[in-house]
Structure formats: C-alpha cells, structure tokens
Structure 1
Amino acid sequence: MKSITYKIFAFIILTAGGNAVQAQTAPTAPTGKISGSLITDSGKPADFATVTLLRAKDSSVVKSSLSNEAGVYSIERIAAGTYLVKATVVGFDKAVSAPVNVLANATVNVPVLKLVSSSKSLAAVTVTATKPLIERKIDRTVMNVENSVLAAGNSAMEILERAPGVTIDKDDNISLRGKQGVTVMIDGKLTYLSAAQLAALLRSTDGNSIQSIELITNPSAKYDAAGNSGIINIKMKKNRAGGTNGSFAATAGYGQNHKASSSLNLNHKDGKLNLFGNYSYFNNKRPQNLVLNRTINDAGVNTFFRENTSLLGNRNSHNYKIGADYDISKTNTLGVQLSGYNSSFDGLSNNNTIISGNQGNQTGVTTTGNDSREAYNNFAANVNNRMVFDSLGKELSMDVDYSHFWNRQSNNYINNFFQADGNTLRTRSLLRNSLPTKINIGTYKADYANPFGKTMKLEAGMKFSYVATDNDLRTDSLLNGNWVADAGRTNRYKYTENINAGYVNFSKTWKKTSVQAGLRAEQTNSKGDSRDINGLATINERHYLSWFPSVFVNHELSDKHSLGLNYSRRIDRPSYDDLNSFVQILNAYTYQQGNPNLRPQFTNSFELSYTFNKTYNLTLSYSKTTDVMVEIPRQIDEQKVTFITRDNLAEQNSYNANLSLPFKLAKWWSMNNNITGFYLGFKSPGIDNGQYALQGNSINTFILSKTVKLEGTFNYQSPLTYGLFHIGHQYGLDAGISKSFAQKKATLKFSVSDVFNTREQNLNVRQGNLNFNVYQKNETRVARLTLSYNFGNTKIQARRHQSGADSEKSRVKSGN
C-alpha cells in the first residue's frame, strides 16, 4: 500500500504543475490575467458578485467570473488588449473600472472597485423562488426538506421514511429502492453508526434543522466505497451571510403520547471570520407493540408460541455543533468544527408468551418484564483547510477528524413461569446485563482537483482511518440471593480496523457527451479479539486490498432527450457490533447474537437512465452482490429457542426500474410521482428466494395563497422478499398546512403523519424448520404544531464542508 500512496502523492505534485507546462507548450494561446477585489460602500467584501470583462472599444462581453467570499476575483487566459471590468450584485449600483491594458504573459491588478447601495427602493418588489420538494439531478435525487410542511416537527428518521425509494424496516434497517446496505452521511460526513445507533441519532434530530436529503444510487470513486445500494446525504441548514443571522423553531405534538422539539441556528460573519453554531432538543415518548407467533416441531411434536410484547420508551436528546471558518488569505480558508450529541432512552417492556400443545391446549404461560436504560454520547472534532489556486477551480482540501463515542446499555429482566392453571411452574428468573461501549475514530483525508480548461478535470485523493472499539458485556443471574456472572452471556470484545484508501477520478466533456472514470483502492486491516469470562480468547484477523472502479457516461441525443450509463463496484463491511458474538436477550425463548465470522459483501452495479425534456426520468439498473449480509433466523428445536444473527448468503441479484414523473397540473398545484419496480433474488445452499415488488410515492403541493401552502404525501410498498423474510405491504398518507407571516420571516405549520393510522409491518418466515410470523405496530399517527422564525441577513449560503470520518461512523450502533 505504501507504493500506492507514494504514487498518488507524486501524481498530485505532477498534476499541480500541469497548467504551467501547458502554458509553456502553447505560447500562442491567450496568456494575460487580471485580478482585483470588490468592496461595498460599508467597507465589507462584496462576495459572490458578477464580474464581467468588456472590450473597451465596444463594451462587448469577453468573459465573466464571480468574486469569492473575500470579494476577490481573477480572470485568466486573456488576449492582449484594452478592457473594462464591470461588477454587479443585487441591491447595489454597478461599478465599472477605468480602461485596463493587458499584455501577454502579464498579470494586471485592477484597483479596488466599490459597489454603492442602490438608491432605488426594492420594498415593492417581491421575488418568489421556491425549489420543488423533489428535484432530479444527473447523479442524484434531491428532496428539498427546508420549508416543507411535512418536515415541521418530524424527526430526521420520519422525514427519511417519506423520501422516494426509501423504506425502513422494523429493526431500523434503511433500504433504497428495495436494497439494504445504504451509507448515510450528514453534511457529507459519514456517521459511522450501525442501523440501531443511526436510528437513535435520526430520531433525535429535529427536521426543522434539515435543508435537503440527497439520494445517490451509484456514487463515483471519490466517495468511500461503502454502501452497496448507494449513499443518502442529509444536508443541515447553515448560512454565511454578513452580520448576524439565524433561525428558531419549536414543535409540540401528540399521538398516543407527547412530543416536543426545538432548534436554534446562529451565524455571525465579519470580514474574514465566520462563526456558526446550532443546538436542538428532542423529546419523544413512543409506544410499540409486537406480536410473534411461531411453531416449533421437535421430533414430530408441535409446540405453539404466541408472544405479545408492549414497549413504552421515552427518548431525550441534545445535539450541538459549533465552528468557525477563517480566511487566512484570498485563497486559503481554515475551518474548525466541534459537534456531538447526548441521547438517553428509558424503556419499560412487558412480554406475555402463551405456550400451547399439539391439540391447541394451553400448556404454560411465561411473562418477561424488562426495565432498560440506554445512554449514547458522542464528541467529534474536525480541522479542515481549503486552498484555491486559481479561478478555474484548482484546489486542495484536507481534513483531520477525531470522534469519540461512549455508550451504555443496561437491562433488568424478570421472568415468571406458570402452568396452564396459573400455578407457578418454576422459580422466578432474574437477569441483568450491562454493555458499556467505547469507540475512538481518527481519520485524515486530502482531495485535490485540477481542471484543465472548462472541459477536463482531474481529481485525486487519499484517506487513512483508524477505529478502535471496546465492548464489555456482563450478564448476571440472581441465585440464592447473590448475583452470579453468566459465563455464556459475558464477554469482552475489542475490535481495531485500519483502512488506507486512494483514488483518481478523470472527467471530460464534449459538446453533447460527458465521461467520468475513476478508480479507488482500499486496503483493510482488522482484528477482532473476543474473550470470555475466563479470559479465553477468540481472535479474527483480516487483511485485504480491494479495487473499486467507476465509469459514468452521459450523452444528449437532442435538446429534449439524454441518456446516461454508469457502473461502479462497492463494499459493505460488517458493523462493529455484528462481529461480536455476545447475546442480546428479548425473552426466555428469543434472543439475538453476533457473528465473528461475518465477511464483507461486494456489489457490482450497472445503471442506464433516460431523461426527457430535462424533467422526466427513467432508470434501469442491475446489481449483483456476493457474500450478501442478511439477518438469518435460526432455531434450536429441542430448547424451543429462536434467535437472529447476521450471516453471508452466496449472492443477491437486483433488477430495478425507477420512474420519476413531476407534473405542474395548475399554477397552484404541483405533483411529483416516483415509482420503483424491482426484483430481489437471494441464493445460497438450500435457499432460492425472490419476488417482484413495487414502491411508489406521490407528493402534492397546493399553493392556496401567497402565504398559505398545503402538502400531502402518499406512500405505498407492495409485499416483498428479503433474505428469508417475506414482508407484507405498507401504505400511509401524510398531510400538512403552513401559513407565513411577519414578512415571511415567521411560519406556523400544522401537520398530521399517517392520517389514517395504516402504517404497520407484517413479516413471516417459512424455511426449513422455521415457521413464524411477526406483526409490529408503532405509534405512527401524530399531530404536530410548529412555529419557526428566521432573523438577520440570510441571503447568502455558507461554505459546506465534508469531513473525512463519515464512513466509519456509519458502522457504530446507537440505540433503538
């Protein structure tokens, strides 16, 4: 891997000088350059102003550019001659320079241009620019959550469930277009959380703080190779307008229990320094009901179990982020960011299991009560530096990240065993367990981009990550009044992982065709060390190098018709906890267990897309995943026990057709429809399961007046098969209305999720000796009232930043 690293470094150094070599070998090309800066009449930089180069003799336009955040601009490759520089920006009169003489191979510094505030009154002018809720781009689908009625008061998880092609199962596994293995990023940063922990974070994130959700089904080599079904990137609100500005939102809701959330975003920019921060609080009391029916056949004798579990959980969470960006120079910005969350969950569950014999006669009853406590804490720090070398976009960005997670789960179980007549069958069983977890993640990454003119671009980069986890599970049983360690359910698990990665990405655009090709390499070194109560160790080490090519081709057949074709290879590594063999108990007959022998899965994906009129899109895709990781139920017939573990099946084949149909039915009514048909097939020795399925959603927006908006969303998923599980259909309707006032700075929103209370989950397994079905109903119908208020100057959006620690965080578990 060292030789690969050295080659990438050498490649970056060589390409950094590419423009200089090109200039020497092409002396006849225009070589002049002008640069300068803009300020307003208040003395502050005029950022993001349009700068136009005009010929002095006739004022014809030659080239144009934008000033950066410091008000600095530059225009290159100018032929010798005399020019004028014109600067314009909304709210200010235009500014024009004196004539400027440009010579070959020379750089001319234009005197500072001052933009004076326009004397014209803009009070009578109203500009309305509303982004569609669903926006289809070349490489991704964007759900513009900001200002949506349905986002008000909902958590990030609840909003994500409404995104096109996204489904979330009873165990909080996220699927995109029917496939699991989604990588979730927040502001371009990998979350490094497992499905359970990610669910905890998303449920504790206030939807009012989200700007948009990006769905990227086939990412390029620039992204981490994790995620066989693609990437979901959640962009949070942030702005960088001059002065002080911000927003505040508060929500109160009620379903079967109370809901409350609030968020505050603040930003201050003065000259070279930009300070920003946000804080959100989320409280959610949420019931859940689960029914499990199973039949166990032991030596021809059937035993029937009907388990009914009710859970009432209360989650409180605090999320925060503070940071600063400082412009060291006109081309160099240094950023620092601190973030974290503190989340707690208190839950009381009661399980009642009725046991019946072959003739249907009741033979026994078992009850299990569980008092659970969970705490999830995270602190993360990021230092980033971005250097821009020219106006064409040549730049180098670097990130150093550190994240620390400390989580704790504890459970207290009381098991009672009764005969059919109600008499005690055997002595009450008391169990308790605790699972403290510590995770440390460190990453470094560097990304370099070098455009060659307007039609070619070379990108290269590297990333190094190191992860260390420590899980210390202890389970005790109460025997004769003393707590005694349960050797079979107690262990300490340590896991370390180092990934070294590098990539090269090249893109070229012709008149009607664009091509992007990339190659990423990731070397993985991991070690799992599991020790039982006696110190006996089971160690699993792995070292492997993987290559991940990607190719994207887009061609415009005409003004209204375009085609796209792409291919990529990706990987999904097991979550840290899935590799630990410890047992998590549900009741006396049901538990969940990790698998230290779980292998990573690899996916090859192909996608063909057609776009009509730059609006309607049809995508056909196929992917094959080898060693696919899925949840597998297993059963020990003689012990009457069923447990869930993750294991590798030989392969998964996925065929997918997605249709995006936005319509403007009237000036006041817009509709966006997204329909996905797919087939998922799973094969392994003794297993050959597959089924055609359909997903769809329709989002309707009604503009009732200039200040009143109504939205409604309908989602449907047909029955489908995933691994051994056959999952029933799901559907639901959400609706909301909003009213803006105080010159549109304030908004009051009322919404109801799952209006008809139809969202529920049904699944069953009929495979080998397994015969059971599960019904789960969560609290889904909730009414919410949200008040939001924006203050200060919010006309310019901030620099967004993507750190290097995002992929590893997505594999950390964080609760229910």
Structure 2
Amino acid sequence: MKIKINRSLFSFCIPFFIAIPGFAQDSTKKKADSTSTINEVQELNTVQITGKKPLVTQKNGTTTLHVSNSSVSSSSSALEILSKAPGVHVERDGSISLNGKRGVTVLIDGKPTYLSTEQVRNLLSATNGISIEAIELIGSPSSKYEASGAGGLINIRLKKNEDYGTNGNLTAVGGYGNYFKRNASLLINHRSSKFHFFGQYSFENLKENEILNLSRSNNNGNEQTFFRQSGTDLYAKESHNLKAGLDYNLTNKTVLGFVTTGFTNKNTINTDNLTLIGQQPILPDSSIYSISNGDSRYKSLGYNLNLRSKIDTSGQELNADLDYSRFTSANTFIYNNIFYNSSGQIFKPALLFKNQTPSQIDIWAAKIDYSRQLTEGIKLESGFKSSYVKTENAFAYLNNNATGFIKDIGKSNEFSYREAIQAAYSELSVQKYGLNIQAGLRAELTASKGISPGQDNTVKRTYLDFFPHISINRELSPADEISFSYSRRIDRPDYQSLNPFSYFADLFTYSVGNPFLNPQYTSAFELSYNLKKIGNVSLGYSRTRDVITTTLITDTVKKTLYIKDQNLAREQTINLVFAVPVTFASWWQSTNNLTVYRNKYQTSNLMGLPYSAGQLTYLLNTTQTLQVGKLVDTEIAFDYQSPQIYGTYAVKPLYGMDLGLSKNILGKQLTIKASATDLFNTRKARISSAIPSQDYQLTQKSESRVFKLSMTYNFGKKTVKQNDDKSGSNDTEKSRVKATH
C-alpha cells in the first residue's frame, strides 16, 4: 500500500476537513449531554477493593494498571513496572513487545517519549513509580493516534492534581540492593477561576551493578576459536525530571495553555571485562583484560503551546498544539586493553583509545484536531499534523600516543538526518442499537534524507501510506459483550539506528547502525469476548513485513560478534489472552493474566542462509491483594515468562516474586509503603542464538532484588475533579530518538 510520490499532501487532505467550521455547518442542535453519552465507556473486568481503585481494569481493548494503588509498583521504576505488566516483554536492550507483537510506542501523558529504544530504557528506569498514576496498554489504537507503534501503544499517565486552591504531595524513597538508591518527587498545584498552575519535579540518585557472561565459539574453515567473557558493569546514575505548565481560561469554554518539560541524566559507567581465548573451551592460550570508563550526559527540553475550545454545547471541539523539542547527548568512553599470554605475562603493548559521540536532535511539530456531533449517537473527528526533524551526529575515534589522544580521521565519521511527515485523519464513531463502531483512515506522507559524508552514503526516501482502523463492539447482554478490531500501522527506524557508526563494548563485541533500514508495516486483527463477572478473553493475529529486528551476528573472519538492526522479511504472531479477576473473600482479591502466543520470523537471507524461527510462549502475571483488617494492605505479585524466540535470540525462562506493604496514617494524609522486588533474586536473563550456525550463550544478572521504603505526604485540599491530560504535537518523533551509546 506504499506509494512513492513527489506531490503535496494538501490536495489529498481536503476531504478530511469537510466537517471543520467553514467547510460545513452544524445543521442540528443537540442536547448538552450528547457528547458525554458518546464518550462514556463502560468499565470491564475490575477487581473491586473497598475504598480503593482496582489494580487492573479493562475498557474496550485497553488494559490499565493503576500504579498509584500498588505498594510494589509505586516503589519501582517505570521500566520495572512494565517488565512485569500483563502481556508485556522488555528485552535487555529496552525494546518492548505487547502480547507477542514487537514495535510498541511508549507515550508519557499521551505524548511519545521522542527517544530511541536505549534512551527510552534510560528514561523509564529513571522515572519513579511514585510519580505515575497509571499505565495504559492499548493494543489497537484508533486513527487519531499516530500510525507508529505496530505492536500497540503504552501510555504512562503521570500524577496530576487540578483541584482548586493550593495543594500537592511530597514523596521520598530510600532503598538498598547491592548499593543504596534514593529518589524523591514534589507535585504542586494552584488553581483559581482564571489561572491554573501545575508542576512536578523528581530526582533519582543510585548506584547499581550488572554481571554479564558470554561464551561463544567462532568457526572459520578448519579453525575454531573459543571465547569466554566475564564482566561487571557498575553504574552511577543521577537524573532530574521537571514538568510545569500554566492554563488561562480565555472564556468558560476556551483554555490557552503552556507546558514545558525537561530531563537531565548523568551516568558514569565503569566496566571490568576479562576475555579468555583459545583453541579449546577450557584451555585458553591468551586473554585480554579490558577496563572501560564512560561518562554519558543527556538533556532534553521541550515547549508546548496548546488551545482547547468547546465551541458549543452540541459537541463541537477544537484542539491545537505547537511543539518544539531539543535533545542533546555527549558521551565519552575510554577503553584500555591489556594483552596476556597463557602464562599470564603481558606480551604486547596495551591498546588505549577513546570514543566521543555528541548528538543533537531538533523537532518542530504542529497539529490540529476537530470533533463534532453529527446526530445523536454519531460523532466525527478529523485532524492534521505536520512535523520536521533534524539530527546531527558525530563520532570521533581517538588513538593514544605519547602526546595524548589524537583523532583518527579514517575511523571517525559524521551523520545527519532530515525527516518531514505530513499526516491527516478522519474517524467516525457510531453508538446505536447496542453497537459501538469506530471507523477511520489516517494518511501520512514521509520525506527523509540521511547523509554520512565519511562513508559517502546518501539515502533519500519519499512515500505515502494509508492506515485504516475499525473497531466494532456489541453488547450481547448487560453482563456480556463482544468486540472486533482491525488496524494497519507502521514503525519507522530509530533516528540513530540509521546512523552507520560503530560502538564498541570491547575489542570483540560492538554495535553498528544501518542507514538502509526500511520502515516495517503491521496489519493486526483482534476478537475479544468479555464476561463482566468472570473475565475477558481475546484472540489476535498480526502480520508484519520488513520487520525491524535486532540481530546478534558473528563475523567469522574477524572473530567478532556485533549487533545490527536489519529488516527480516516478515513476522507472524497469533495470541490468546485471558484476564480473570477473582474475589476469594472481602479481604482477598486476585488479578490474573495469561498471554499465550506463537510468533514466526522468516527471511530468505541471514548470514547467507534462509532463516525461519518461532516458538509457543506464555506469560503469566498474578497479583494477590490482601487487606489485613484496617491496618496494612499487602500485595504479593508473581510473573513468569516461558522460553521464547525474539528475533534471532532464543530466550530462556524468566520469573520472580515481589512483595509490598502499605499503610495510611494521619487521616490518609501520610502513606508509608515498603516493598521488596525480586524477593528470591531469581530474575536472570539467559540468551542463546536461534540461528543454527551460531554458537553463543549469554547470561545477564542485574541488581534486581531491592528493598525500598517510601513515604508520601499530601497537603492542601481537594475539591475539583482532574482535567483531561494534555498532549502535544511532536509525540511520535520523540519516540524514535536513539542514544548514541
């Protein structure tokens, strides 16, 4: 369905805006409550706890995790919460799949993070659970959402307080695993009849370690070489997050708002790595001891100007956003390699070199959305978005000599990337006769250009894509309903995945970019049946072509192992999801989710041979919530991931148990929570190659068992319900910014 063109999209967009004032008139007056009738959603499959919200709810294909109600999750990072969420799998590089489908876009307050896979991982690990209200898992987004996110969307809703007067809360967390951790956050709100100010600040300071072991063999003709690598990474992280905004009520129906967001992250990484090399697995004839020290700094700053207007009481609304964001990173890593023979003696000079990788990404975006009630039960939404992205990257390789570090021009490079996307959508919602139907179409025109002068590479693309979506929900009885959805979506490569630079972990393992990556396209179907008193079951199927896959490839000539994103031919996934809440007693409730899926990857040429792999996999999440009298709430959570195939990785089982306690005192003004994640220290990643011709086994053990104590103090008064979340126009572009190391 991709069409290569060079003409403007504006002529194509005209039909999308027939419903906008000036193109059509509102010929029928509606009652004031007609919009709320259409927008009303019915809560399904909730576990009700007296005086508390449920931990998990489901509404029309969206699963919501109420993080603020969990004593375990609210003391964890967003990354840790997601890694144990129903149907979610988080790879060691930070890539996320939902119900077996790859290519998930992460949003924060309805706005994609504008970051790459690695930087999303860093951001989520630095986002405190204490600042999160809920996490929404959206398997089949409608046409008004960006078309990116072939596997669905994950929206992280941060806590907000929009009550009249001045109020807020202050939270402090301390923890210990192998090292101390601490974080804190302040949420403050002031609202009057005309103005509303809101702000949130959080910081985190921690130290953690990770142990990695890699065993592999390299076959090159008649020569076989064995490598055994063992290393320890020690991370010291300091991060600061800020969000502040001001709303001004121009009229009682129109609000003008301004929001600024900022994030800084400073990491220092110290790595010790020993590589044993030999012609036999247990008898090395040489070894390399590597010490690397790195300093990684990342900053982002964004501005959003927004207008929200309810034009009349018949349901007409107009929303507009202007956004600008800048992301900068500066990474410096020094590698020192010492070479030993079989007797443990140094046999050649040490190799000392440095990598510097500064990067800057600028994003401009604007969008407008309009909705109106056509007749009772029928609503039309239309919108347009324009975005432009500019990235500048440099890679400097510096050799060490008697005078210091000297730049090696032959190994250094630069990369720049430009991308413009014009998008338009229209969606019709019909709610009549027990049916709720949404049908929409989104069109996106993309023009991109990547330039790498050092390698004399220039890649230009222009293409137009159409993304239909339809969902049908039928209420069979007051207790049961059935729904069906179809959507077509896209995942464009991370900006830095297109970057041809090479980044070293050590002399024998590195990662390299791929400027020739194509976007991947996914068509997905889902059928869901809900029994409100029993649970929910859904059956899904998706097919992805040109699937972007992170591959771990052996270069048998150089005897190296390198990571590279590549387009495999296709991936097929079929999944079956069960969500079953159980109430054992008034004081004991349980939420249980089982996801069973089978995926299959296929390509005609990988390492010179056809590749086909897949496996039946299941993910189990169960949480027991117990209320011990009126004193303490107890939460016990267990998750299990069976063996699975993930691209070219064969992943072994992963499981763990968490425990949490919470207590409200001082009239619920002060909340104290204690938690233990990975109580029995069982979460360890174990990976081998799914490619028959490759031989490697990787184990990775991070500092997963952590004990934490948190205290939250609420101040001020609460008299008014919260407003809707605010999101900007450069959402999707942020989700594709990738870290340079």
Using the TM superposition, give the Cα deviation of residue 773 of structure 1 relative to its aligned residue in structure 2, in angstroms: 1.1
Task: Determine if the alignment matches structure 1 residue 2 to structure 2 residue 10.
Answer: yes
How far apart in 1 are the matches of 2:496 and 2:135? Answer: 27
Cα contact 1:213–1:233 (8 A) shared by 2: yes
SS in structure 2 at match of 1:12: coil
Cα contact 2:486–2:525 (8 A) shared by 1: yes
How far apart in 2 are the matches of 1:614 and 1:240? Answer: 34
Equivalent of residue 477 in structure 1, options 374, 385, 399: 399
Match of 1:733?
A: 657
How far apart in 1 are the matches of 2:84 and 2:686? Answer: 19
Match of 1:502?
A: 424
Change beyond 3 A, Cα 1:561–1:766: closer
Larger RCO, structures 1/2 (Cα 8 Å, 6+ apart): 2
Cα contact 2:496–2:739 (8 A) shared by 1: no
SS in structure 1 at match of 2:123: helix
Using the TM superposition, give the Cα deviation of residue 2 of structure 1 relative to its aligned residue in structure 2, in angstroms: 1.8
Cα contact 2:357–2:740 (8 A) shared by 1: no
Match of 2:479, as an amino acid? K
Using the TM superposition, give the Cα deviation of residue 642 of structure 1 relative to its aligned residue in structure 2, in angstroms: 1.4
Using the TM superposition, give the Cα deviation of residue 664 of structure 1 relative to its aligned residue in structure 2, in angstroms: 1.2
How far apart in 1 are the matches of 2:507 and 2:223? Answer: 20
SS in structure 1 at match of 2:557: helix
Match of 2:716, as an amino acid? G
Match of 1:13?
A: 21
Match of 1:547?
A: 466
Q: CA RMSD in A?
A: 1.8
SS in structure 2 at match of 1:578: helix
Task: Determine if the alignment matches structure 1 residue 601 to structure 2 residue 488.
Answer: no
Using the TM superposition, give the Cα deviation of residue 64 of structure 1 relative to its aligned residue in structure 2, in angstroms: 10
1:321-360 equivalent positions in 2, closer than 5 A: 321-358=243-280, 360=282
Cα contact 2:542–2:572 (8 A) shared by 1: yes
SS in structure 1 at match of 2:140: coil
SS in structure 2 at match of 1:553: strand
How far apart in 1 are the matches of 2:35 and 2:651? Answer: 54
Instruction: Provide, for residues 552-577 of structure 1, a one-character-per-residue CA deviation record: whole Å limited to 9, x for no partner.
Output: 01111222221111100000000011
Sequence identity percentage:
37
Cα contact 2:108–2:155 (8 A) shared by 1: yes
Equivalent of residue 612 in structure 2, options 660, 681, 688: 688
Match of 2:460, as an amino acid? E
Match of 1:750?
A: 674
Change beyond 3 A, Cα 1:64–1:221: closer
Equivalent of residue 627 in structure 2, options 699, 703, 708: 703
Match of 1:401?
A: 323
Using the TM superposition, give the Cα deviation of residue 6 of structure 1 relative to its aligned residue in structure 2, in angstroms: 3.5
Using the TM superposition, give the Cα deviation of residue 794 of structure 1 relative to its aligned residue in structure 2, in angstroms: 2.5
Task: Determine if the alignment matches structure 1 residue 156 to structure 2 residue 91.
Answer: no
How far apart in 1 are the matches of 2:633 and 2:529? Answer: 32
SS in structure 1 at match of 2:433: coil
Task: Determine if the alignment matches structure 1 residue 813 to structure 2 residue 738.
Answer: yes
* Further displaced range: 602-611 or 169-178: 169-178
Match of 2:490?
A: 571
How far apart in 2 are the matches of 1:332 and 1:221? Answer: 25
Using the TM superposition, give the Cα deviation of residue 482 of structure 1 relative to its aligned residue in structure 2, in angstroms: 4.6
Q: Which has the larger radius of gyration?
A: 1
Cα contact 1:489–1:583 (8 A) shared by 2: no
Match of 2:607?
A: none
Match of 2:670, as an amino acid? A
How far apart in 2 are the matches of 1:336 and 1:228? Answer: 31
Instruction: Provide, for residues 164-189 of structure 1, a one-character-per-residue CA deviation record: whole Å limited to 9, x for no partner.
Output: 11121211212212232110000001
The ranges of structure 1 where at least 4 consecutive aligned residues each deviate by more than 4 angstroms after the TM superposition are: 63-66
Match of 2:562?
A: 643
Cα contact 1:522–1:545 (8 A) shared by 2: yes
Cα contact 2:74–2:132 (8 A) shared by 1: no
Using the TM superposition, give the Cα deviation of residue 360 of structure 1 relative to its aligned residue in structure 2, in angstroms: 4.4
How far apart in 2 are the matches of 1:770 and 1:206? Answer: 39
Cα contact 2:359–2:740 (8 A) shared by 1: no
Equivalent of residue 139 in structure 1, options 61, 67, 76: 61
SS in structure 2 at match of 1:13: coil
Match of 1:200?
A: 122
Match of 2:287?
A: 365
How far apart in 2 are the matches of 1:396 and 1:359? Answer: 67
How far apart in 2 are the matches of 1:65 and 1:769? Answer: 60
How far apart in 2 are the matches of 1:767 and 1:709? Answer: 48
How far apart in 1 are the matches of 2:691 and 2:529? Answer: 40
Cα contact 1:370–1:411 (8 A) shared by 2: yes
Match of 1:286?
A: 208
Instruction: Provide, for residues 260-314 of structure 1, a one-character-per-residue CA deviation record: whole Å limited to 9, x for no partner.
Output: 0000000000111100101001112110011111100111221100001100001
Equivalent of residue 700 in structure 2, options 735, 753, 776: 776
How far apart in 1 are the matches of 2:519 and 2:393? Answer: 21
Instruction: Provide, for residues 493-544 of structure 1, a one-character-per-residue CA deviation record: whole Å limited to 9, x for no partner.
Output: 1011111000000011112111110000001010101122xxx631111100
* Further displaced range: 5-14 or 142-151: 5-14
Match of 2:712?
A: 788
Change beyond 3 A, Cα 1:359–1:646: closer
Task: Determine if the alignment matches structure 1 residue 673 to structure 2 residue 613.
Answer: no
1:69-468 equivalent positions in 2, closer than 5 A: 129-358=51-280, 360-468=282-390
Task: Determine if the alignment matches structure 1 residue 801 to structure 2 residue 723.
Answer: no
Cα contact 1:443–1:804 (8 A) shared by 2: yes
Instruction: Provide, for residues 713-735 of structure 1, a one-character-per-residue CA deviation record: whole Å limited to 9, x for no partner.
Output: 10000000012110000000001
Cα contact 2:17–2:23 (8 A) shared by 1: no
Alignment length (residue pairs):
715
How far apart in 2 are the matches of 1:740 and 1:803? Answer: 36
Cα contact 1:766–1:772 (8 A) shared by 2: no
Cα contact 1:670–1:702 (8 A) shared by 2: yes
SS in structure 2 at match of 1:197: helix
* Further displaced range: 279-288 or 484-493: 484-493
How far apart in 2 are the matches of 1:681 and 1:551? Answer: 26
Using the TM superposition, give the Cα deviation of residue 673 of structure 1 relative to its aligned residue in structure 2, in angstroms: 0.3
How far apart in 2 are the matches of 1:440 and 1:65? Answer: 38
Q: TM-score, normalised by structure 2?
A: 0.94
SS in structure 1 at match of 2:285: strand
Match of 1:653?
A: 572
Change beyond 3 A, Cα 1:179–1:147: same
Using the TM superposition, give the Cα deviation of residue 7 of structure 1 relative to its aligned residue in structure 2, in angstroms: 3.5
Match of 2:89, as an amino acid? T
Cα contact 1:677–1:692 (8 A) shared by 2: yes
How far apart in 1 are the matches of 2:263 and 2:406? Answer: 35
Match of 1:756, as an amino acid? F
Instruction: Provide, for residues 644-664 of structure 1, a one-character-per-residue CA deviation record: whole Å limited to 9, x for no partner.
Output: 100000000000000000111
Using the TM superposition, give the Cα deviation of residue 163 of structure 1 relative to its aligned residue in structure 2, in angstroms: 1.4
SS in structure 1 at match of 2:13: helix
Listed as ranges, the gaps of 5+ residues in structure 2 are 1-8, 37-48, 605-609
